[in-house]
Structure 1
Amino acid sequence: MAIVAFSEERFPLRIAFGTSGGPERRTDIVRLSTGFEKRNQRFFRSVRRYDAGSGLKSLADLALLVEFFEAMRGRLTGFRFRDPLDHASARFGRPVSPIDQAIGTGDGETRQFPLVKIYGSGEGAYLRPIEKPVGGTVRIAVAGAETATGLSIDDATGVVSFDDPPEVGTAITAGFEFDVPVRFDIDQIAVNIAAFEAGDIPTIPLIEVRP
């Protein structure tokens, strides 16, 4: 059986309930003799870390987790994970719309547009590449009008490909749900049977990867 570096399987949702974590950035700060600070961003893209080990879980859930861990070979294989707070193009709690995110402008030549999610506004906005959209959730609009023909969407890379390049100056927007590509950050699962038909795993660290 071939072992792949990334699997399109998703971490079981019911086990992910109670997950803690979120984005991490690395910033070097040097305080100058004048009292001013010099700050340098070490990571252009944030890296997300999670811990899915909090709380008691049923023995059935723990068995499912062990099975998934073995299938992923511990830290070897990456997989999809649904961030409980940040998994859609729209603001939290709002429905996905095909005009949620601007992903490009037609130039009469470009046919492919990667999905992105924009945080903030203006020149200081952060554009996060979305490489693992959820199949069947991506909605595309051209010049504000939703369209589902003349294009294809790669759910494994997040790239939208048009049969014909959009016209010059045409706004391309998208709405979608997405997963975070992660891997286990441990090579051992330590299960604690804490009560009848229940137990826990103190920590299940997950870290974002570049698929």
Structure 2
Amino acid sequence: MAFHEVRLPARLAFGSTGGIERRTEITMLASGHERRATPWAMGRRRYLIGANLRSLDDMAELTAFFEARRGRLYGFRFKDFADFKSCAPTGTVAATDQALGVGDGVQTVFALIKRYGDVERPIVKPVAGTVRAALDGVETTAFAVEATTGAVTFAVPPGAGVAVSAGFVFDTPVRFDADRIETTLESFDAGRMAAVPLIEVRV
């Protein structure tokens, strides 16, 4: 998949709006009952950025970032300020935040995930240097992280029955959801930009 491992500068996202969308297919039966199903295992996030930008320099920087991604062609990292940690947004990341699995004495690689109730979201874009891991609640540093996939590899396989957990900061992989951005010049040093849509991508 076409993806650039760069993050949109955080200040260009201030004032952004966004949230999760789901796809639910509803069939109305002759009896008046409904059948509901979804083809999506995970929700998909959408954002609108840029609408609060007024500085011509900031608008020029967002335009340059858009050009470098070739519009919708290449994905990139985005910090969702409402959901970017393994814990609550205002909390402190701990090595026991998210359960990754249970050791069997053989497996060394575990994938980062974040749970929302019984839904498990794969975390594939952790921020380098932020991942902490623990075995049976005891923090360890004997592991490596692949920052482009979210794979955690332990130096020694966790023993059978050992609980594996991790805490982390992460980015959301997104792309621009339009091939055009628009700006309006309002004065010699200020302007206005139409909201630019982003959409989460699967990588």
- The reply to whether TM is greater than 0.5 is yes
Shift of 1:198: 1.7
Deviation at 1:197, TM superposition (A): 1.6
What is the aligned partner in structure 1 of residue 134 from structure 2? 141
Q: Distance in 2 between matches of 1:16 and 1:176?
A: 21
**Given that residues 81 and 89 in structure 2 are in contact (C-alpha distance below 8 angstroms), is that contact kept between their aligned partners in structure 1?**
no
Distance 1:45 1:56 in 2: 31
Alignment of 1:169-180 (within 5 A): 169-180=161-172
Give the match for residue 44 of structure 1: 41
The residue number in structure 1 matching 2:99 is: 102
Q: Aligned partners of 2:181 and 2:194: how far apart in 1?
A: 9
Secondary structure of the structure 1 residue equivalent to 2:27: strand
Aligned to 2:54: 57
| Matches of 2:157 and 2:53, distance apart in 1 | 52
> What whole-Å deviation, never above 9, does each CA across 1:90-132 have from its counterpart, x for those lacking one?
0231111110000111011111100000001xxxx00000000
1:132 paired residue number: 125
1:196, distance to aligned residue in structure 2 (A): 4.0
2:150 maps to: 158
Cα distance per residue 1:146-190 (max 9 Å; x no partner): 1112x1100110000112211000000010010000111111221
Q: Do the aligned partners of 2:27 and 2:36 also contact (CA within 8 Å) in 1? A: yes
* Structure 2 gaps, min length 5: none
Give per-residue Cα distances to partners, 1:18-73, cap 9 Å, x unaligned.
11111111001123233332110121111111110322421110111111111111
Contact residue 14 and residue 52 of structure 2 kept, 8 A:
no
Query: How do 1:1-211 and structure 2 match up within 5 A?
Result: 5-120=2-117, 125-149=118-142, 151-211=143-203
Specify the code of the residue in structure 1 equivalent to 2:110.
F
Letter in 2 for 1:132: K
The code of the aligned residue for 1:170 comes to: V
* Residue identity in the other structure for 1:176: F
**Cα distance in 1 between the residues matched to 2:115 and 2:187:** 45
Give the residue type in structure 1 aligned to 2:128.
Answer: G
CA contact (8 A) 2:53 2:59 kept: no
Letter in 2 for 1:131: V
C-alpha distance in structure 1 between counterparts of 2:190 and 2:150, whole Å: 39
Within 1, Cα distance between the matches of 2:145 and 2:126?
9
Q: Secondary structure at the match of 2:58?
A: helix
Calculate the TM-score normalised by the size of structure 2. 0.96
Contact 1:56 1:198 in 2 (8 A): no
- Residue 194 (structure 1) shift: 2.5
- State the alpha-carbon separation in 1 of the partners of residues 66 and 179 from structure 2: 9
Structure 1 stretch 84-93 or stretch 25-34: which is displaced more?
25-34
Q: Number of residue pairs matched?
A: 203
The answer on whether the counterparts of 1:18 and 1:52 sit within 8 Å (CA) in structure 2 is yes
Give, in whole Å, the separation in 2 of the partners of 1:205 and 1:56.
Answer: 14
